[in-house]
Structure 1
């Protein structure tokens, strides 16, 4: 067990969130294993990183927000980070949610809010990798393969974000780049790297604690096929 704790500390220190290990005691924690507590902390951290990504993408791509009259970043964050996913998907996105939205977000024919489609896909996928739970208890199960597949899908999303262009050769969504002062901005890449690290390390810890195997897979970055969660 101590090995998982140390692995968790390493991950959280790299993502700037080690202080979350010092949360106050809660009576419900008596129904949690050490692995449950570690999982809860990682869920909170990846949700924080995801929210940062939503805000940054909208600030970098304000035209997407303007496609829906009266929409604000705060409203989008509330939609995307709600504790409960919409049962019938997002009406604005044809009733879809999760992985099914990722190809839509990178389709040159899509005319809706591309940031919303992308982040509904990302948040839904991450939520599914944790069984749509925000915390875990003793009898709850978690699948290491879902976590691993999610990490690989996040790698693909990061690649597509930097490479998918429209018919005019313009990136569908702006992210990393060089500012007017000539200083490179790789903050989006760092956020994705931290999210991928959390999912990969969670997959390893779950596999180790349950004596289960992770089926490692290879995928083409350029394809629009994502691994199931």
Structure 2
């Protein structure tokens, strides 16, 4: 092989190695799954947002159980058992008997009902998780035949905001908070609930905006493609 051919080859190899070295892992990437071949980029982003929102719900649940152990003691032998049972029912779509099978906003209302005798934290988790699923096109994992429901995502965001306010404002007959959540005092600061619920609201609002933009752009993209397909061949004939 001549020197004239060696130089381009060396340059290509060097650029390739530089490109590989420039790649940085976020330590959040997941290996490809079989189901991803049925997902568009928008589906993948929606599924990642749902994953992160469900993780936020888990963090809030753990924080609330730590500060309100009486709740999980109403029906489980340990906090871990209560968490496991709640998520097993949620992911399998099993109605929770203690809230009468309520989901979404109905489960959240039950959590703050003074007459409710069940696990208020579990009711909140069921309410939030099922709202998130509904906003995600009523599925835990979108494919190209699914999509985010912009209206449901927007409503879910507002319901999460209301939940955060109710956690602070709703009191029992002794004027005590129904659930201890956020704490800023001389004893310390516990902002897990506020922080995670705020993240959920932000993600849901972003997904609602993206869903609205998706349909808006679809019409514009169609018009642009039609126009360029019709006019572009003639524009190429015009001397520059």
**TM-align CA RMSD:** 1.9
Aligned to 2:39: 32
**Equivalence for 2:216:** 211
**Partner deviation per Cα, 1:126-173 (whole Å, 9 max, x = no partner):** 222223322111121321110010000000000000010012110000
Q: Does 1:197 align with 2:198?
A: no
| Counterpart contact for 1:60–1:174, Cα < 8 Å | yes
TM-score when scaled to structure 2? 0.73
List gaps (5 residues or longer) in structure 1. 1-17, 213-229
CA distance in 2, matches of 1:203, 1:29: 22
Question: How many residue pairs align between the two structures?
Answer: 190
Which one has a bigger Cα radius of gyration? 2
Partner SS state of residue 96, structure 1: coil
Aligned to 1:219: none
* Mapped pair 1:91 → 2:68: no
Of 103, 106, 125, the residue aligned with 2:109 is 103
Give unmatched runs, 5+ long, in structure 2: 1-25, 218-240
Larger RCO, structure (CA 8 Å, separation 6 or more): 1
Q: How does 1:9-20 map to 2 (within 5 A)?
A: 19-20=27-28
1:133 is matched with which residue?
A: 139
CA gap 1:27/1:101 in 2 versus in 1, 3 angstroms: closer
Deviation larger for 156-165 or 76-85: 76-85
User: CA 1:84/1:132 → structure 2, altered by over 3 Å: closer, same or farther?
Assistant: farther
Question: How much has 1:19 moved relative to structure 2?
Answer: 4.1
TM-score computed with the length of structure 1 as normaliser: 0.76
Query: Which residue among 64, 71, 85 is the counterpart of 1:57?
Result: 64
Task: Name the one with the larger helix percent.
Answer: 2
* Structure 1 Cα separation of the partners of residues 68 and 212 of structure 2: 38
